[in-house]
């Protein structure tokens, strides 16, 4: 996925805003070491650091990390692979918001996180659950096929039962895990779904002509209109899974 940091901040600020509610779950005292995994442009990294904790923000996107360093020059940001973290028994908490569903190798990801945590350290994360954005993806797939293209989802959206097994196999003890609907308003009125699709389906439409891309986006909107357009805004059919898991000794 090629990320557009300006589009992300300007049109998808809801990602970080929802993530702020999870910070209350994190011990952010001065002696804590925290990893913000998939930090994006650094908004939540900054929130985590406000109480004096030592926080490192990592992301695989050089564009996101560049923007994060510009936004918060006093914080530590690094381009890194979440499945191959260069830390061992180091962090009290690994925090992550809206990231895990982008990572294909979940076993390697969880092993990497487990290895980076201290004994009794916590993984606190939230990401897409089973059937997240199902209506949007279904509409987009239908339209792509009508235009002669195939669609293969890049996302990993598990049920809590599926993810519970992965966590336990990695050695984590589950303290809290829930799966829930979270209808999410998209910014920018009528352009909201188009903006969302340009970011999150970028790999599928970046190589088509401007004219065809606009047609694909228009036809996707048309299919989604009845179910997702409400009171002059798009409401994306988000579903989330929220987890607190502890590294066993």
Q: What are 100-115's pLDDT values in tens digits?
A: 999 999 999 999 999 9
Categorize the per-residue pLDDT at 248 as very low, low, confident or very high, splitting at 50, 70 and 90: confident
Domains of the chain from N-terminus onward = 5-247 (3.40.50.150)
Taking a C-beta distance cutoff of 8 angstroms, is the pair 139, 110 a contact?
no
Q: For residue 91, which phi and psi values (nearest 5 degrees)?
A: -95, 145
Q: Which pLDDT score, from 0 to 100, does residue 3 have?
A: 45
- Across 163-187, average pLDDT: 96
- 233-236 and 229-230 as β-strands: parallel, antiparallel, unpaired? antiparallel
| pLDDT given at position 129 | 98
User: What mean pLDDT value characterizes the chain?
Assistant: 92
Report d(CA 237, CA 223) in Å as an integer: 14
User: Would you state the pLDDT for residue 135?
Assistant: 98
pLDDT, position 17: 73
The whole-number pLDDT of residue 52 equals 93
What beta strand segments (E) does 48-161 contain? 54-59, 76-79, 91-97, 117-128
Could you give the C-alpha distances from 100 to 75, 124, 141, 190, 225, in angstroms and in order? Answer: 23, 12, 22, 29, 29
pLDDT cut 90: percent of the chain above it: 84
Average pLDDT rounded to a whole number, residues 6-19:
56
pLDDT of residue 14: 55
Closest C-alpha among 153, 155, 151, 173 to residue 164: 173
pLDDT of residue 27: 87
CA distance 121 to 38: 18
Task: Among 11-25, 75-89, 103-117, name the one with the lowest average pLDDT.
Answer: 11-25
Q: How far apart are the first and last CA of the chain?
A: 36
pLDDT tens-digit readout, 142-151: 999 999 999 9
Percent of the chain at pLDDT above 70? 93
For residue 186, the 8-state DSSP code is P
What pLDDT, on a 0 to 100 scale, did the predictor assign at position 12?
A: 42
Across 232-243, average pLDDT: 96
pTM of this prediction exceeds 0.85: yes
pLDDT above 60: residue 1: no
- Tell me the mean pLDDT in the region 199-212: 92
Give yes or no for residue 233 having a pLDDT over 60.
yes
For residue 16, the model assigns a pLDDT of 63
């Amino acid at each position: 996925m090629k990320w557009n940091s300006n589009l992300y901040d300007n049109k998808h600020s809801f990602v970080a805003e929802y993530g702020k509610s999870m910070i209350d779950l994190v011990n952010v005292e001065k002696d804590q070491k925290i990893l913000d995994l998939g930090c994006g442009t650094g908004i939540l990294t900054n929130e985590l650091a406000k109480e004096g904790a030592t926080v490192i923000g990592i992301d695989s996107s050089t564009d996101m990390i560049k923007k994060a360093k510009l936004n918060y020059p006093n914080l530590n940001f690094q381009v890194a692979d979440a499945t191959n973290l260069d830390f061992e028994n180091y962090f009290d908490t690994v925090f992550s918001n809206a990231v895990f569903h982008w990572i294909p190798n979940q076993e390697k990801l969880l092993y990497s996180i487990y290895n980076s945590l201290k004994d009794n350290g916590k993984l606190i994360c939230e990401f897409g659950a089973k059937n997240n954005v199902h209506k949007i993806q279904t509409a987009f797939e239908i339209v792509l096929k009508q235009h002669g293209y195939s669609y293969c989802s890049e996302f990993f959206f598990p049920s809590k039962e599926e993810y519970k097994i992965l966590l336990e196999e990695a050695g984590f003890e589950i303290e809290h895990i829930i799966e829930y609907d979270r209808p999410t308003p998209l910014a920018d009125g009528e352009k909201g779904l188009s903006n969302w699709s340009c970011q999150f389906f970028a790999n599928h439409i970046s190589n088509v002509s401007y004219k065809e891309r606009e047609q694909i986006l228009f036809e996707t909107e048309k299919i989604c209109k009845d179910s997702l357009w409400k009171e002059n805004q798009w409401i994306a059919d988000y579903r989330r899974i929220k987890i607190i898991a502890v590294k066993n000794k």
